[in-house]
């Protein structure tokens, strides 16, 4: 079956530090890949996505590249801010038809805390 | 648009009690989902509804039932709550024109004692 593995957290950084959160996946075929962010007390929001190999998703200074050869989709940001403190989830959606079309498989989440 | 709304925000139940978690979306989405979020386990799919009138089991359906009341509403029922069902529950929906993005509600934090 499909699965997503994220690096263990929590991750604690100082403001303006470089961020990497690793994500690897197992899936048949060519899934779409996502990063979702959950701010304290809120639901999940889509941060960025990539739908095919070598695509780079980007948003709010965050980037992730779909690497099929290493089955990875690592999240990076060059300079984090205190407001980036949140839980980050890597997820995949199998590109199959029928009723499974919208279902997401999530990683376990990585807590990021950024200090001033 | 309110997006995806969930009620209640918090609930405490005793073992064996029943309750229904409500979810509604005002975005005219066809597909809706119920997830539970547990520490260190990410989100796991409980049930989903690809369209009005259809429901299907997800990864962890045991102990739950769902009803797709109409296109807007998708409820999750716990008939006899157990401590293992203590979790945060999220409802989500997906746009037919933007199938790459799920829109999540704010969540219901449920504690079963």
Reply yes or no on whether the pLDDT at A58 is more than 60. Answer: yes
Distance separating alpha carbons of residues B93 and B86, to the nearest angstrom:
23
A70-83 average pLDDT score: 97
Q: How far is CA B81 from the centre of its chain?
A: 15
pLDDT of residue A97: 53
Distance separating alpha carbons of residues B85 and B63, to the nearest angstrom:
8
Task: State the average pLDDT for chain A.
Answer: 91
The percent of residues above 70 in pLDDT, for chain A, comes to 93
Q: Is A88 exposed, middle or buried (0-12, 13-18, 19+ CB in 10 A)?
A: buried
pLDDT of residue A70: 95
pLDDT of residue A7: 84
Q: Between these two residues, A29 and B70, which has the higher pLDDT value?
A: B70
For B58-76, the DSSP string reads: -S--TTEEEEE-SSSBEEE
Nearest to B9 by CA among B77, B112, B113, B111: B111
Q: Is beta strand B108-112 parallel, antiparallel or unpaired with respect to B10-13?
A: parallel
Q: Measure CB to CB from residue B94 to each of A45, A99, A102 and give the nearest one.
A: A102
Q: What is the pLDDT of residues B42-52, one digit of tens each?
A: 899 999 998 89
3-state helix/strand/coil string of B37-48:
ECCCCCEEEEEE
Is B45 in the A-facing interface, judged by CB distances under 8 Å? yes
pLDDT of residue B79: 94
Is B42 in the A-facing interface, judged by CB distances under 8 Å? yes
Q: What is the pLDDT of residues B63-86, one digit of tens each?
A: 999 999 899 999 999 999 999 999
Q: Between these two residues, B101 and A23, which has the higher pLDDT value?
A: A23
Q: Are A100 and A28 in contact (CB under 8 A)?
A: no
The percent of residues above 90 in pLDDT, for chain B, comes to 74
A61-83 average pLDDT score: 97
Q: Which of A45-59, B24-38, B66-80, B93-107 has the lowest mean pLDDT?
A: B93-107
Chain A interface with B: residues with Cβ < 8 Å = 4, 32, 34, 41-46, 49, 51, 89, 93, 99, 101-104, 106-109
> Cis before residue A110, ω within 30 degrees of 0?
no
A54-79 average pLDDT score: 96
Task: State the average pLDDT for chain B.
Answer: 92
Q: Are B88 and B78 in contact (CB under 8 A)?
A: no
């Amino acid at each position: 079956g499909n699965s997503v593995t994220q690096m263990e957290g929590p991750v604690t950084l100082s403001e303006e530090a470089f961020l990497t959160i690793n994500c690897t996946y197992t899936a048949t075929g060519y899934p779409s890949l996502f990063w979702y962010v959950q701010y304290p007390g809120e639901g999940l929001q889509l941060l960025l996505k990539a739908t095919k190999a070598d695509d780079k998703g980007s948003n709010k200074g965050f980037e992730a590249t779909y690497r099929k050869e290493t089955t990875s989709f690592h999240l990076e940001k060059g300079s984090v801010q205190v407001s980036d403190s949140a839980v980050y989830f890597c997820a995949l959606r199998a590109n199959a038809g029928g009723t499974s079309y919208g279902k997401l498989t999530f990683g376990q989440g990585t807590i990021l805390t950024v200090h001033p | 648009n309110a997006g995806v709304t969930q009620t209640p925000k918090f609930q405490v139940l005793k073992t064996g009690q029943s309750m229904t978690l409500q979810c509604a979306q005002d975005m005219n989405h066809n597909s809706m989902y119920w997830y539970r979020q547990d520490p260190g386990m990410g989100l796991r799919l409980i049930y989903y509804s690809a369209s009005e009138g259809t429901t299907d089991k997800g990864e962890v359906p045991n102990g739950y039932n769902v009803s797709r009341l109409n296109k807007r509403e998708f409820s999750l029922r716990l008939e006899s709550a157990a401590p293992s069902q203590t979790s945060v529950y999220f409802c989500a929906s997906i746009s037919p024109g933007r199938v790459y993005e799920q829109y999540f509600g704010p969540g219901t934090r449920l504690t079963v004692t």
